[in-house]
Amino acid sequence: MIDFNNNKEVEEMLQKIDKDIKQELSEKRYKHSIGVMQKAEELAEIYGVDVNKAKLVGLAHDIGKELPEEEKLRYAKENKIEVDEIEKINVGLLHGKIGADICKKRYDFTKEMQDAIQYHTTGNENMDLLAKIIFVADKIEDGRNYKEAEKAKQLETARGIAKSNIEEAVLYEIDSSLIYTMQKKKLIHPDSISTRNKIIMNMI
């Protein structure tokens, strides 16, 4: 197990992950991963979360993203990863679970770090602070930009909220995603709904 207080060990692990994702992901996805790592570090410093864990998870979070659909399903079956009905239809959602499993076996990530990777797309009502940081960092990293004025405005709003209230930032991103998903008449994963409800219940 890596000593997260040992900056040398952490740096060596970051270099290993960087090398792996540079080989396994497209240039666009690699740059996104670097951006999420940097944003996760920034948010971790704001909210008092272990910065080294945030950087490692941020860098590795999409490690399973670009596996072909058939390979995702095969990996899930071979590694006994549960696939729900929505994931069978929207196979891309599996990359969180697969990424968590890869990072457990390849890098010995802790359960907390695995969960942050698993939950970073749909959310989860049991997300801890690290998971919320990764969830938000994935959506607002500095490399993201939109040509559409409305989306660009939403992105800047989300970045502002993230600096002051991570719970509201998660809620804002979920709401934005739900509106988009409903407009496209696509399936909504129940974890997104339960996450939203849990945050609102905590606010009441």
User: Over the stretch 64-86, which tens digit does the pLDDT of each residue have?
Assistant: 999 999 999 999 999 999 999 99
**Residue 30 corresponds to which tokens in the numbers above?**
């690699």
How many whole angstroms separate alpha carbon 104 and alpha carbon 79? 12
How many whole angstroms separate alpha carbon 169 and alpha carbon 161? 5
Q: How sure is the predictor about 2, in pLDDT bands with cuts at 50, 70 and 90?
A: confident
For residue range 113-130, list pLDDT tens digits in order. Answer: 999 999 999 999 999 999
Q: How sure is the predictor about 106, in pLDDT bands with cuts at 50, 70 and 90?
A: very high
Percent of the chain exceeding pLDDT 70 equals 100
- At residue 150, the pLDDT reads 87
Is residue 13 within 8 A of residue 2, CB to CB? The reply is yes
How many whole angstroms separate alpha carbon 86 and alpha carbon 107? 29
How many whole angstroms separate alpha carbon 193 and alpha carbon 13? 35
- At residue 147, the pLDDT reads 86
Output the CA angle 169-171-173, nearest 5 degrees: 70
Q: Which CATH class is domain 7-203?
A: mainly alpha
Residues whose CB falls within 8 Å of the CB of residue 189, separated by 6 or more in sequence, listed in order: 86, 87, 90, 93, 122
- At residue 52, the pLDDT reads 97
For residue range 130-166, list pLDDT tens digits in order. Answer: 999 999 999 999 999 888 888 899 999 999 999 999 9
- The model scores a pTM over 0.85: yes
